Amino acid sequence: MSEGLFSSFRISATGLSAQRRRLDVIAENLANAETTRTPAGGPYRRKRAVLAAESTPVDQVSQSEPFVQLVRSNEKHMAANAMESVRPVDPETGVTMTVQDDPSPFRSEYDPGHPDADANGYVLKPNVNVVDEMVDLILATRAYQANAVAFEASKDMFNVSLQI
């Protein structure tokens, strides 16, 4: 019976951790929204945070979906080069956070005076859309708040059950 009580804390804590990491990815995207030169060469490429839990293939993750998706994955389904990084969110539940590069094309802007301009005066800009990132930021913040409320509700129920 105690496992059921504590599992709600673990679930909420996993959600809090995942949303915090999602916020980190969004912050990185916003910070690099105008970065035209990276150490790897070329403009900054937008990152996507993808949550995964065991047993659903990673290829079910939509490449065009701008929001974090909850999908199920298994190590056997992951191609070696498909993921940039996989970080555990909750080792007990098998939930992981994967950060992938967004494959959408870079923006091209005419600015002949820019040091990264090509021969025609065009500069490749990152594929980061600030409005989309702000929407993602609001969604991640609300999801974080929802997990915090669920954690508090579990704590309140636990306290009430101790008083019985």
Classify residue 139: in a domain, yes or no.
yes
| Structural domain that includes position 10 | 2-33+47-103+128-163
Map tokens 């969004």 to a residue.
26
Classify residue 77: in a domain, yes or no.
yes
Residue 87 backbone zone (phi > 0: left; psi -120 to 50: alpha; other: beta): beta
Structural domain total, the chain: 1
Report helix, strand or coil for 72: strand
Per-residue pLDDT tens digits for 43-63: 999 999 887 776 444 445 444
Classify residue 108: in a domain, yes or no.
no
Per-residue pLDDT tens digits for 95-138: 777 889 999 999 999 999 999 999 999 999 999 999 999 999 99
pTM attached to this predicted model: 0.72
Assigned token pair, 6: 């504590």
Q: How far from 74 is each of 53, 86, 129, CA to CA, in Å?
A: 7, 12, 31
